Structure 1
Amino acid sequence: MLSLDDCARISPHVAMAQRDHVRLEWREPYPVLERVRPVAWTCTCRALVYELCAGAGQGFIRKTVQDECGPVVRHTRLWPINEAWAVWAGVLSGRAR
């Protein structure tokens, strides 16, 4: 089994949400783009995994929560890819949830 230090080298862990963090609007998954792929993601050692997904110059954040009934997936809205990377940085640092 990997320690938290070892798995953080593979994929980052999300920092705790800051008190004044931006609240993202999470929606049911929808066919956002014909071709989309994860370009960054958090470590899968936790029940909550975030992915930055990109395609056609746009991006969104996918949130997957593993619970007893299976995965629950939610998406944010689309942003231009530069804005999506900025939101991704906010998720990782705890400034956005």
Structure 2
Amino acid sequence: MLPLDDCAGISPHIAMVQRDCVRLEWREPYPVLERVRPVAWTCVCRSVIYELRAGAGLGFIRRTVQRDDGHQVSESRPWPLREARAIWADLLIGRVR
């Protein structure tokens, strides 16, 4: 089950990070794939928003930190889509950050 709060209930909130979580390498956005689309995302009420993006059989996670002076966007490396979905699930429950 995905962690949901009292917001609209449409998008999940990520769980608190677990002590033994795996740290992803976050990079500046770069055009990995020509055509990608968001397929899942976390609730926009938090200061950090995550999106699972997919295209051409690959997937990656985009992280947006919302700040008063603008947004900071970074991305993970791409994985085969099945692996990206598994990492996304781990992100939601706090096993990955």
Q: What band does the TM-score fall into relative to the shorter chain? A: over 0.9
**2-structure distance, mates of 1:5, 1:47:** 16
Q: Which residue of 2 aligns with 1:65?
A: 65
Structure 1 gap ranges (5+)? none
Tell me how many residue pairs correspond in the alignment.
Answer: 93
- The 3-state SS of whatever aligns with 2:53 is strand
TM-score, length-scaled by structure 2: 0.93
Q: Which residue of 2 aligns with 1:76?
A: 76
**2-structure distance, mates of 1:38, 1:13:** 16
Partner amino acid, structure 2, of 1:5: D
- The 3-state SS of whatever aligns with 1:83 is helix
**2-structure distance, mates of 1:6, 1:63:** 20
Q: Which residue of 1 aligns with 2:12?
A: 12
Q: Which residue of 2 aligns with 1:54?
A: 54
- The 3-state SS of whatever aligns with 1:5 is coil
Q: Which residue of 2 aligns with 1:34?
A: 34
**2-structure distance, mates of 1:89, 1:71:** 24
Q: What is the deviation of 1:12?
A: 0.2
- Give the root-mean-square deviation of aligned CA atoms: 0.7
The question of 1:92 aligning with 2:92 is answered yes
Q: Which has the higher helix share?
A: 1
Percent of aligned positions with the same letter in both sequences? 67
**2-structure distance, mates of 1:31, 1:67:** 24
Q: What is the deviation of 1:16?
A: 0.4
Q: What is the deviation of 1:68?
A: 1.8
Q: What is the deviation of 1:6?
A: 3.5
TM-score, length-scaled by structure 1: 0.93
- The 3-state SS of whatever aligns with 1:18 is coil
